[in-house]
């Protein structure tokens, strides 16, 4: 790793050198363009695929050749979309890295400026502060020392600036985003002074929230890169908002939390938790201590899996986990019997938990833009499901569950842009459907030209086909019955003939 670094100055210098190794920071215009391109990919690809699927086969081209041609064109479209998406996401990631490295440098400068840092006590400021021993004992915090953060900050920067905290009548606290951030930028060219003001205000906000027994705390769009463990002391909270991103006239302002402290489990009264638009890769297992949590919004992060303890959040009514990297949902979700809405679009899900059949209060399920390969039959046991979106799983999803007709409460179904070739026979039982979207599937049953005419035409065609098949089955059964009778008759006739014709056989018989 190179020469040994022994002083704060050497470490700071090395951090600045490492920061300089990043690719050039994108301009605000480049960043905005990247975000626009990212949105366009998600809109343009389905439209192009739909146009491709709707193209008719030329009369002189055999079906196998035309299908091979279409498959190659589809793959080219997806490849270009993936490349465009990667380029846009790379630009956004570079901006996030620059912002994160800048925040780390500011934190180092803050601690280094305090005389205690030379005695080894500078670690008291920032997310690296650790508890001695296990802070969680049977789901409760054994201790939450609060002296380290606020006392050190107060010693370094006595309160000289007017607080921008705005308490409201319902005992909620919030930073003023525009005023605080403007002060953050304007006070000092390198941002160090602004970081001091921000850290000071954050800790005082938490102190005040504890003192006032605040029920609502809004820390959204505040460029947060860490959250102190002392958040667990604000035990009266029912609503906690840690979300970003906010577009202002001069910059993009977002939170950049990479983890939520385990002390979040102390907020036993919490009903709403919003951590959307951060950089979270995981959720704390202490989430299971939030037994009153009704709404959980974790969309637009980088979370790859949900903790099994989510099954302990038995009051959960709504889960929004869009725009993450989820590969599966835990089977423990079957315990969330009050859950009414699940939205997990734009993830990497390949399947749904079999325990989904236990979510009898579920009314909305959105899993579009994933990689679903199958939909479990257990999904068809949901008596209250009204909205089902399985769209844009593309070539991965090839069939629907055979018993889908049992979902008698369904009102809206979207299965567009998959690789479904036929609808199950039980589909005709969904008589309460008000909206059905099938675009972008290589349908053969019903034929594509019928599907394009809408729900009524589809149901009429499928009913006619079923009646025709039933009639054919009856004819086939009659023929088989007649054939069976003829076979028996012939066998008996042959046996009688042989007995009558051969005296030896009759004696043996």
Handedness of CA 383, 385, 386, 391 (dihedral sign): negative
Helix-then-strand count for the chain, H and E: 9, 15
Which are the contacts of 4, defined by CB distance < 8 A and separation ≥ 6? none
Q: Classify burial at 51, counting beta carbons within 10 Å of its beta carbon; exposed 0-12, middle 13-18, buried 19 or more.
A: exposed
Closest by CA position to 108, among listed 91, 93, 92, 128: 128
Counting Cα atoms < 13 Å in the Cβ hemisphere of 220 gives 17
Rounded CA separation 431/130 (Å): 59
Cβ–Cβ under 8 Å, residues 247 and 270: no
Rounded CA separation 128/125 (Å): 8
Q: In the structure, what pLDDT confidence band is assigned to residue 457 with cuts at 50, 70 and 90? A: confident
pLDDT digits (tens, 9 = 90+) for 89-141: 888 888 888 888 887 887 777 666 644 444 443 333 333 333 333 333 443 33
Q: Looking at the predicted structure, is the pLDDT value of residue 246 above 60?
A: no
Stretch 273-293: mean pLDDT: 94
Query: Per the structure block, which two tokens stand in for 426?
Result: 């039980």
For residue 504, the model assigns a pLDDT of 52
pLDDT digits (tens, 9 = 90+) for 373-412: 999 999 999 999 999 999 998 878 999 999 999 999 999 9
Query: Per the structure block, which two tokens stand in for 52?
Result: 């491709």
% of the chain exceeding 90 in pLDDT: 37
Rounded CA separation 298/275 (Å): 5
For residue 318, the model assigns a pLDDT of 98
Higher-pLDDT residue of 252 and 62 is 62
Stretch 285-303: mean pLDDT: 95
Rounded CA separation 364/348 (Å): 19
pLDDT digits (tens, 9 = 90+) for 298-331: 999 999 999 999 999 999 999 999 999 999 999 9
Alpha helices in 417-454 (DSSP H): 448-451
Q: In the structure, what pLDDT confidence band is assigned to residue 447 with cuts at 50, 70 and 90? A: confident
Rounded CA separation 366/342 (Å): 6
- DSSP β-bridge partners for residue 414: 389, 437
* Kind of pairing between the strands at 252-253 and 246-247: antiparallel
For residue 185, the model assigns a pLDDT of 27
For residue 127, the model assigns a pLDDT of 38
The edge-to-edge listing of strands for the beta sheet with 172-174 is 172-174, 216-218, 239-241, 272-274, 295-297, 318-320, 341-343, 364-366, 387-389, 412-414, 435-437
Cβ–Cβ under 8 Å, residues 298 and 321: yes
pLDDT digits (tens, 9 = 90+) for 230-241: 899 999 999 999
Beta strands in 321-383 (DSSP E): 341-343, 364-366
Element (H, E) at 103: helix 63-112
For residue 198, the model assigns a pLDDT of 56
pLDDT digits (tens, 9 = 90+) for 32-51: 888 888 878 777 887 788 78
């Amino acid at each position: 790793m190179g020469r040994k670094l022994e002083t704060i100055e050497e470490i700071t210098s090395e951090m600045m050198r490492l920061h300089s190794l990043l690719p050039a920071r994108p301009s605000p215009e480049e960043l905005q363009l990247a975000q626009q391109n990212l949105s366009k990919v998600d809109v343009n690809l389905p439209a192009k695929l739909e146009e491709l699927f709707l193209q008719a086969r030329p009369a002189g081209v055999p079906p196998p050749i035309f299908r091979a041609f279409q498959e190659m064109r589809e793959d080219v479209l997806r490849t270009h979309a993936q490349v465009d998406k990667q380029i846009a996401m790379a630009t956004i990631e570079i901006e996030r890295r620059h912002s994160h490295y800048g925040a780390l440098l500011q934190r180092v400068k803050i601690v280094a400026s305090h005389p205690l840092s030379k005695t080894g006590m500078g670690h008291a400021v920032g997310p690296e502060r650790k508890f001695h021993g296990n802070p969680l004992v049977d789901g409760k915090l054994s201790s939450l020392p609060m002296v380290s953060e606020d006392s050190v900050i107060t010693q370094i920067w006595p309160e000289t600036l007017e607080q921008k905290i705005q308490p409201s009548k319902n005992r909620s606290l919030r930073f003023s985003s525009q005023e605080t951030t403007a002060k953050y930028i304007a006070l000092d060219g390198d941002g160090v002074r602004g970081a001091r003001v921000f850290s000071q205000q954050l800790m005082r906000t938490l102190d005040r929230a504890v003192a006032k027994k605040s029920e609502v705390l809004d820390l959204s769009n505040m460029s947060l890169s860490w959250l102190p463990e002392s958040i667990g002391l604000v035990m009266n909270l029912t609503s906690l908002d840690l979300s970003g991103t906010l577009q202002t006239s001069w910059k993009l302002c977002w939170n950049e939390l990479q983890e939520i402290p385990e002390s979040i489990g102390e907020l036993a009264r919490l009903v709403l938790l919003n951590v959307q638009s951060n950089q979270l890769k995981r959720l704390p297992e202490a989430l299971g201590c939030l037994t009153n949590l009704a709404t959980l919004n974790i969309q637009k992060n980088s979370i790859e899996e949900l903790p099994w303890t989510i099954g302990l959040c038995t009051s959960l009514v709504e889960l929004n986990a869009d725009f993450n990297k989820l590969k599966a949902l835990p089977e423990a979700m079957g315990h969330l019997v009050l859950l009414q809405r699940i939205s997990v679009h734009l993830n990497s899900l390949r399947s749904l938990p079999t325990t989904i059949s236990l979510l009898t209060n579920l009314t909305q399920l959105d899993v579009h833009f994933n990689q679903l390969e199958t939909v479990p039959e257990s999904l068809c046991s949901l008596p209250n499901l009204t909205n089902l979106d399985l769209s844009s799983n593309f070539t991965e999803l090839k069939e629907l569950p055979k018993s889908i007709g049992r979902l008698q409460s369904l009102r809206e179904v979207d299965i567009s842009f998959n690789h479904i070739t036929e609808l199950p026979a039980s589909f005709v039982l969904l008589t309460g459907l008000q909206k059905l979207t099938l675009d972008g599937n290589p349908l053969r049953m019903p034929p594509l030209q019928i599907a394009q005419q809408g729900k009524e035409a589809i149901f009429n065609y499928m009913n006619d086909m079923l009646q025709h098949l039933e009639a054919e089955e009856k004819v086939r059964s009659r023929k088989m019955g007649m054939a069976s009778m003829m076979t028996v008759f012939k066998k008996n006739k042959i046996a009688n003939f042989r007995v009558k014709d051969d005296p030896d056989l009759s004696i043996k018989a």
